[in-house]
Every structure is written in C-alpha cells, then in structure tokens.
Amino acid sequence: MSWIDRDMIRGGVWSMLRTNMGLRPGERLLVLTDRPRPEQWVDLDAAKLEENLRRAFLARLVAEVAAEEHSPVTFLTFESTGRSGTEPPHPAPAAMREHDVVVAITSYSLSHTDAREDACRAGARVASMPRFFPEMFHPGGAMACDYERLARETARIAAMLTEARVARVVCPRGTELTFSIEGREGRPDDGLYREAGRWGNLPAGEAYCAPVEGSGEGRIVVRAGWHPGLEEDMTIEIAGGQACRITGSGRVGDELRAVLGLEGEPVTALAARRNLAELGIGTNPNARRLDVTLEAEKIGGTIHLALGDNSHMGGKVTADYHHDFVIPEPDLYLDGIKVMQAGKLLR
C-alpha cells in the first residue's frame, strides 16, 4: 500500500503545472525536495520524521506524474536545512537557476533565500511549497480554487496596503499591534506564476507587505491550535519592531525563544530573526487546515504576522529565518480606518 494515492493527486498536479506555473512544451521542470539529515533520523520524533519522508515521496510522485506528459523533468533532493529561510546546500541553488520552472516541495521554506531569488533573477518561475500535504492536491483542496477570481481579490487588498501608512491589528484573544507600512508595496500572491521570474507559495492566496523596520509596537497572541504543536496561547511582545519577550506556549515557545536568542542575554547575531517582517492577509476560500502554516495563512479572513527576513519582500532585514503566525478573526485598521472586522472585509 502506498503512502499516497497517485490517482488522487494526478489531476491536481497537472492543474498546478498548467494553471499555476504555465508550463509549456520543452521547458525544463525541476521538482525539488529535502531529505532528513543523519541527526534528524535520531532527533525528530517518529511522527515528524514520517511526515517529512512522506513529503519527499510526494515530490517524487509529482515528478513522475509530470514526466508522464512532459519532458524534460529533473527530480533533485538535498539535505534538510532544518529551518525556513536557511540557504539550501549544493547543488540545489545552481539547479534552480538552470530550470524554467521549479516546484519546491520541502519541509522548510525556500521562499526567503538567495537561492530562490537568484533563480527568479535568472528567469525561473518558482513555487515554494513548504510542509505541503498530498490532500492539498485533492478535489476541493486548497489548490482547487478559482485562481482568476483569487487574483482579482488579492490585487485589490494589496493595493489597499500600498496606499496605507499605518496598520493596526487587533483580535479578541489579545493581539494588539501597530506599525508603519508607509512607502512599502503591497504585493499579491495569487498563485499565477506564468511569467519569467514570478514566484510564490502554493497553495496561494494572500496580500502582503513588509512593515517598516523598527516601527512595530504591541503584542501578537497566537491561539492554541493555530500553530503546529501549540497547545496553549503564546504571546510575542514586540518593541521597536522586534520580538523581545515570549510567554506561554510550552515547548513551542521554548523552541522559538532559542531560535530568536531570547534565552538569557540577547544574542546580537540573532537580532535579525526577531524583526517584525510581514503583514499578510489570507484570501483563499478553499484553505482550511490549521496545523500547516502554509495553508493556514491563506485562509480567507485571517491575518498573519511574521518574524525574520523581509529582504525578499521589499524590506531591509536579511536573516536566515522567516516564520509566520496566523491570527484568526482579526480586526484591521489602515490609517485609523477599520477595513476588516472579525475577518470580514468592510470595503
């Protein structure tokens, strides 16, 4: 018995290649995935290890399905980076630059890396799909939405962000965060990567921008169940545009404090990871899954706020880390005007 039903994903794979990536006859397609490092075979719990291996197997099936009707197709694996935003090892960066279309089904995101950006500069079209699950390809899944309609709505919200100077995010659970977005471009991630150099997530569906560095003040409260492994609410306090304190959250909080250098004395070298990096607004009506950030942040009516690198989205901070935290049922104010209430757009 296979981990994954090839027939259940086949239609979704070909819809992705044709609709999202605009794959044309003769174009070079690269399907990229990561494999556990030797120490991860010991350190990861069994469920996490199986999830990562299943994802790598999914990537191989995607390459095989693509090769049924298209050539050339390259399938490439590399040792896991262990953290989103960390550069992939050789030979992945060169391979990404040398292909027309790159589908990266990985356990850790390559979106905010020089490897992804260099590939786009070379003309590649890149789909970054960290923690992607096979069910996202199934009929009715997060990939099976009306992308033309999604593109129109996402572009409209992105334009609102471009025009605004100050954003404020509030939710009943305790999030209260204000920051400048003056001069920052609102960008749509609509899942249509058909022109040279285009890139984004799949599943897609968000409008986003990079807050002005140093401007964020307040707190982010991440609700239990809305982040992988989070069993109690987690509060991230923001001052001067950086995460400065984390409370609650159990194991997830312990891991985040270590990554950000908040255990004991702050570690200057890790300050970039603490940067308030992104404001995103989900627009995908088919996105439902809460335990996978890739899909949760696309749920229509949610907001996500990220820490770490924003240099690949119009900001000025370069870091080896980028991580999103999803806020359900938020209120959003732009320049003091409420434009979203409990996740419903008002304009």
Count the neighbouring beta carbons within 10 Å of the beta carbon of residue 145: 21
pTM of the model: 0.89
Q: Which domains does the chain have, with CATH numbers?
A: 6-137 (3.40.50), 147-345 (no CATH)
3-state secondary structure 51-87: HHHHHHHHHHHHHHHHHCCCCCEEEEEEECCCCCCCC
Q: Which residues of 29-62 are buried (b: 16+ CB within 10 A; e: fewer)?
A: bbbbbbbbeeebeeebeeeeeeebbebbbbbebb
Helices 6-15 and 46-67 pack at an angle, to 10 degrees, of 60
* pLDDT at 2 (0 to 100): 64
The H or E element that residue 225 is part of is none
**Per-residue tokens: 325:** 């935290």
* pLDDT at 232 (0 to 100): 94
* pLDDT at 248 (0 to 100): 86
* pLDDT at 1 (0 to 100): 40
C-alpha distances in Å from residue 205, one per residue of 32, 137, 303: 22, 15, 12
Q: What are phi and psi of 218, to 5 degrees?
A: 140, -140
Give the separation between CA 244 and CA 285, rounded to whole angstroms: 34
- 10-residue mean pLDDT profile of the chain (347 residues): values are 85 97 98 96 92 96 97 97 93 98 96 96 97 95 95 97 98 97 97 97 97 98 93 96 92 92 71 96 96 93 97 93 96 98 94
